[in-house]
């Protein structure tokens, strides 16, 4: 009885000995443990596993054996990889600025519209709700030659020569990019509208009292105050274009990645290497490269935009 | 004492009888991928097999095609999975290398019987002197043609072209264009991502005197005069004669189905899709022969094989089931229910089958078909698509394009065989 009492008293004393703040910290970590564990298993474990697989020659059928950096050496020597790498950055470099400028322009003018504002905003948002696969197949039909391609039918009836679009090594990537930009436009417009609405009207009132022009207001007030929104959308949009897959795959499924890999992004190359060729080690190496690219681009953007 | 001893003896006899009965009821598992017609056909075959073999039960399991290979790859090494499995012939090297399947026991499947009774394509199932699987579902190519368009062009709808020259002439007569020169209806489909790649590599190339790979399959052989001749003949359909256009109507089979292509080369697996055509009558013919009458075709097929898993009684049951599914009776069921061709001559060459206006041309092709082994089918396919695209889109010389393709494909073969 005495011993039991002493033990109980010790335990109680240990907990009682903590300060209030220390108790709060313990409770916080207790609750955080579950999500941290979940996140670690679901997010970090697969990432580490990808690094491990990238150093093997696993093809799903054999027992993987260690090959060091052989997969990365092969990657560096693969001309298709460099074209795919270039394509991936073309999607990024062309797609991100174009979609943001377009979205901002629409949002800026839409913000001034009162009549049917909600309806027009809904119309822009609608493509965002459509599945990428369905959209890709519709646009694929748009791009066909006469007599079923919508665009070429119109061009031809106006007396111009029809265009190859998806069958061209130069036109194919812009052709795939156009519906991808269009698909994401609605989301960006809505985010920009929210950003514009968040700017206090007092700034605009003060500027107008001082007789400042619309362009100066845009440059000095609107854009600087939209910076957090722009940062978010640049990062979000960049990652989206770097990981483009649905549109490319479905618009070019007969010759995946388009003629002579004209539209093939890195994600599609990874998919094909892993699930068509079953070359898991090589695919994991490509995944590691994509991960590093995404990481660098995101960090670079955050640093540049924050310093500005 | 006598009563007790009798009771014990009776119990022992009963136990023995039950054990014996249990030993008689062997269950084996069969796997294939999901495809409605195939599932129905296999269920029918299993019903017949179990009726003929009361002591054996077959459990039929299916998976979506996309998951099928990975399911096998995960299950067999773990000692689970099927006893008899269906696999694509092109997967054989990977399956043998991974020890997923065992050689067919010679007592149930003597080599001389196999080689006598099956079409020559069965040779592709032989590795290191052993047969690992037997084909049950074969696909070959044929020429589909639109009888209505033939009639409109003044051609006899019941006399499809027999030679490449006749093919070209028919294409020239049937192509249609608008005032601006845009194609409205193709005389001949040009669709490398469809079956034209197989047509070029397995048929045209051989007809022009070449062959795609060395006999041991380790060396690319189409970078040759014959290769250039075949590629130029094919490309000239668009470049010179303008009877077809790559990318027209998006896909060759879509153009044919819409009645906007007079002729297309496609496989027996297209019969299901074309069977739904209502607007015009279509026919099937053997692929056109070369000027000197040389014919060739490409056969791909699915095989049944015994996995590494069964031994003893299960192996005996698996052997019986394998023998049944590769019997002429089973192959006829498969042809009727699925539309895939028999691999056994006895099943294919019945008078009724050969005279069939649709199946006939596909079946006749089995005698002169090749079944080429691909080590990475999609990567090798991509090499072929790029070869054609360099010629069509970039106007690259056929010889230069062939050289580039041969180099890229040789790298794929080297990587596989040096493994």
Q: DSSP assignment, residue B113?
A: H
Work out the burial of residue A13: count CB atoms within 10 Å of its CB; fewer than 13 is exposed, 13-18 middle, 19 or more buried. Answer: exposed
B90-111 confidence digits (pLDDT tens): 888 888 888 889 999 999 999 9
A-chain CB neighbours of B94 within 8 Å are 59, 61, 278
Q: DSSP assignment, residue B311?
A: -
Q: Does the ipTM surpass 0.90?
A: no
- Note whether B379 contacts A276, CB cutoff 8 Å: yes
CB nearest to A156's CB, from B69, B180, B250: B180
B-chain CB neighbours of A161 within 8 Å are 180
Closest CA to B168 of B257, B294, B262: B262
Chain B interface test: which of A83, A259, A276 (most B C-beta within 10 Å) = A259
Angle, helices A79-111/A266-275, rounded to nearest 10 degrees: 130
pLDDT of A71 > 80? The answer is yes
Burial B109-128 (b: 16+ CB within 10 A, else e): beeeebeeebbebbebbbee
pLDDT of B219 > 80? The answer is yes
Closest CA to B277 of B293, B299, B253: B253
Q: What is the pLDDT of residue B369?
A: 92
CA A20 to chain CA mean position, Å: 43
CA distance A244 to chain B (A): 21
Q: What is the pLDDT of residue B141?
A: 95
Q: What is the pLDDT of residue A9?
A: 66
Q: What is the pLDDT of residue B1?
A: 44
Give first-to-last CA distance, chain B, whole Å.
72
- Note whether B394 contacts A260, CB cutoff 8 Å: yes
- Note whether A144 contacts B247, CB cutoff 8 Å: yes
pLDDT of B196 > 90? The answer is yes
Burial B340-378 (b: 16+ CB within 10 A, else e): bbbbbbebbebeebeeeebbbbbbbbbebbbbbebbbbe
CA distance B206 to chain A (A): 25
pLDDT of B250 > 80? The answer is yes
Q: What is the pLDDT of residue B70?
A: 82
CB nearest to A254's CB, from B97, B183, B193: B193
Q: Which residues of A touch B (CB under 8 A)?
A: 57, 59-62, 140-141, 144-148, 152, 156, 159, 161-162, 164, 166-169, 254-256, 259-261, 272, 275-279
Q: What is the pLDDT of residue B19?
A: 53
Q: Which helix (H) or strand (E) holds A13?
A: helix A2-16
B-chain CB neighbours of A62 within 8 Å are 97-98
Q: Which helix (H) or strand (E) holds B282?
A: strand B282-285
Average pLDDT over residues B229-243: 95
What chain B residue is nearest to A259 in terms of C-alpha separation?
Answer: B389
B376-395 confidence digits (pLDDT tens): 888 999 999 999 999 999 99
Burial B233-264 (b: 16+ CB within 10 A, else e): bbbebbeeebbbbbbbbbbbbbbbbeebbbbb
A-chain CB neighbours of B379 within 8 Å are 272, 276-277
Q: Which residues of B touch A (CB under 8 A)?
A: 66, 69-70, 73, 94-95, 97-98, 100, 178, 180, 182-184, 192-194, 245-251, 260, 376, 378-379, 382, 385-386, 389-390, 393-394, 419
Indicate the average pLDDT of chain B.
90
CB nearest to B393's CB, from A57, A259, A275: A259
B-chain CB neighbours of A67 within 8 Å are none
| DSSP notation for B10-42 | HHHHHHHHHHHHHHH-EEEEEEEE--HHHHHHH
Give first-to-last CA distance, chain A, whole Å.
70
Closest CA to A54 of A287, A274, A269: A287
Neighbours of B17 (CB within 10 A): 10
- Note whether B386 contacts A261, CB cutoff 8 Å: yes
Q: What is the pLDDT of residue B94?
A: 83
- Using a pLDDT cut of 70, give the percent of chain A over it: 95
B306-352 confidence digits (pLDDT tens): 999 898 899 999 999 999 999 999 999 998 888 889 999 988 888 88
Closest CA to B94 of B329, B374, B356, B412: B374
SS3 B185: strand
Phi-psi region of B181 (alpha: psi -120 to 50; beta: other; left: phi over 0): left
Rounded to whole angstroms, the Cα distance separating B119 from A8 reads: 85
Rounded to whole angstroms, the Cα distance separating A57 from A59 reads: 6
CA distance A254 to chain B (A): 6
Average pLDDT over residues A22-44: 88
A186-209 confidence digits (pLDDT tens): 999 999 999 999 999 899 999 989
Q: pLDDT confidence of A5, banded at 50, 70, 90? A: low
Bridging pattern class, strands B26-33 and B261-267: unpaired
Average pLDDT over residues B156-172: 95
pLDDT of A21 > 70? The answer is yes
Q: Taking the CA atoms of chain A, what radius of gyration do you get in angstroms?
A: 27
* Partners of residue B62 on adjacent β-strands: B32
B400-415 confidence digits (pLDDT tens): 999 999 999 999 999 8
C-alpha distance from residue B223 to each of A29, B204, B205, B297, B409 (Å):
67, 14, 10, 20, 11
The dihedrals phi and psi of B54, each to the nearest 5 degrees, come to -60, -25
Torsion, Cα B178 B181 B187 B191, to 10 degrees, reads -120
The better pLDDT of the pair A232, B419 is held by: A232
Q: What is the pLDDT of residue B79?
A: 82
- Note whether B97 contacts A61, CB cutoff 8 Å: yes
pLDDT of B152 > 90? The answer is yes
Rounded to whole angstroms, the Cα distance separating A261 from A245 reads: 13
CB nearest to A144's CB, from B249, B376, B379: B249
Q: Taking the CA atoms of chain B, what radius of gyration do you get in angstroms?
A: 25
Q: How many CB pairs under 8 A join A and B?
A: 82
A127-175 confidence digits (pLDDT tens): 888 888 999 999 999 999 988 999 999 999 999 999 999 999 999 999 9
A89-123 confidence digits (pLDDT tens): 999 999 999 999 999 999 999 888 888 888 988 88
Average pLDDT over residues B182-204: 94
């Amino acid at each position: 009885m005495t011993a039991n009492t002493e033990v109980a008293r010790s335990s109680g004393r240990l907990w009682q000995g903590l300060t209030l703040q220390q108790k709060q910290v313990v409770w916080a970590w207790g609750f955080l443990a579950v999500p941290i564990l979940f996140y670690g298993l679901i997010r970090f474990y697969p990432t580490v596993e990808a690094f491990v697989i990238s150093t093997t020659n696993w093809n799903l059928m054999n027992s993987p054996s260690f090959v060091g950096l052989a997969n990365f050496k092969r990657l560096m020597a693969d001309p298709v990889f460099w074209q795919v790498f270039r394509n991936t950055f073309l999607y990024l470099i062309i797609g991100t600025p174009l979609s943001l400028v377009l979205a901002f322009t629409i949002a800026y003018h839409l913000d001034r519209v009162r009549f049917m504002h909600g309806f027009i905003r809904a119309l822009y948002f609608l493509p965002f709700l459509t599945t990428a696969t369905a959209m890709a197949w519709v646009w694929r039909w748009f791009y066909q030659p006469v007599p079923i391609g919508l665009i070429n039918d119109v061009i031809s009836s106006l007396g111009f020569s029809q265009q190859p679009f998806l069958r061209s090594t130069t036109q194919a990537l812009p052709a795939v990019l156009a519906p991808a930009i269009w698909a994401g436009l609605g989301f960006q417009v809505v985010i920009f509208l929210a950003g514009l609405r968040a700017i206090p009207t007092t700034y605009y009132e003060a500027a107008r009292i001082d007789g400042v022009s619309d362009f100066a207001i845009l440059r000095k007030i609107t854009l600087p105050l939209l910076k957090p929104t722009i940062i978010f959308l640049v990062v979000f949009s960049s990652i989206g274009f770097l990981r483009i897959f649905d549109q490319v795959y479905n618009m070019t499924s007969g010759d995946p990645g388009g003629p002579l890999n004209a539209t093939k992004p890195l994600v599609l190359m990874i998919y094909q290497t892993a699930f068509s060729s079953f070359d898991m080690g090589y695919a994991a190496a490509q995944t590691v490269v994509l991960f590093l690219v995404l990481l660098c681009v995101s960090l670079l953007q955050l640093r540049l935009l924050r310093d500005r | 004492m006598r009563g007790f001893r009798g009771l014990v003896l009776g119990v022992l006899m009963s136990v023995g009888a039950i054990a014996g009965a249990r030993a008689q009821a062997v269950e084996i598992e069969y796997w294939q991928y999901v495809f409605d017609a195939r599932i129905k056909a296999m269920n029918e075959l299993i019903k017949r097999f179990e009726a003929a073999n009361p002591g054996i039960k077959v459990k039929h399991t299916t998976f979506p095609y996309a998951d099928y290979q990975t399911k096998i790859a995960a299950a067999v090494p773990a000692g689970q999975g099927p006893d008899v499995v269906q696999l694509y012939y092109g997967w054989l090297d990977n399956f043998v290398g991974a020890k997923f399947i065992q050689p067919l026991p010679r007592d149930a499947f003597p080599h001389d019987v196999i080689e006598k009774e099956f079409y020559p394509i069965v040779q592709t199932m032989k590795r290191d002197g052993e047969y690992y699987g037997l084909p049950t579902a074969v696909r070959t190519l044929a020429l589909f043609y639109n009888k209505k368009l033939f009639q409109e062009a003044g051609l006899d709808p019941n006399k499809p072209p027999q030679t490449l020259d006749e093919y070209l002439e028919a294409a020239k007569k049937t192509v249609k264009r608008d005032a601006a020169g845009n194609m409205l209806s193709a005389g001949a489909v040009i669709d490398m991502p469809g079956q034209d790649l197989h047509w070029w590599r397995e048929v045209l190339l051989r007809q022009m005197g070449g062959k795609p790979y060395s006999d041991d399959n380790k060396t690319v052989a189409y970078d040759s005069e014959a290769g250039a001749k075949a590629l130029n003949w094919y490309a000239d359909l668009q470049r010179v004669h303008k009877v077809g256009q790559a990318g027209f109507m998006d896909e060759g089979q879509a153009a044919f189905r819409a009645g906007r292509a007079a002729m297309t080369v496609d496989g027996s697996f297209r019969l299901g899709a074309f069977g739904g055509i209502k607007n015009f009558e279509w026919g099937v013919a053997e692929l056109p022969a070369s000027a000197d009458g040389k014919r060739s075709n490409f056969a791909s097929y699915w095989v049944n094989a015994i996995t590494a898993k069964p031994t003893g009684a299960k192996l005996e049951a698996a052997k019986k089931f394998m023998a049944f599914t590769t019997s002429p009776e089973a192959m006829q069921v498969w042809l009727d229910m699925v539309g895939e061709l028999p691999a056994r001559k006895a099943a294919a060459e019945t008078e009724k089958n050969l005279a069939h206006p649709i199946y006939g041309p596909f079946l006749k092709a089995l005698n002169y078909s090749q079944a080429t082994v691909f080590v990475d089918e999609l990567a090798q396919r991509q090499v072929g698509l790029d070869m054609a695209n360099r010629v069509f889109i970039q106007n690259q010389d056929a010889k230069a394009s062939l050289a580039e393709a041969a180099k890229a494909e040789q790298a794929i073969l080297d990587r596989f065989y040096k493994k």
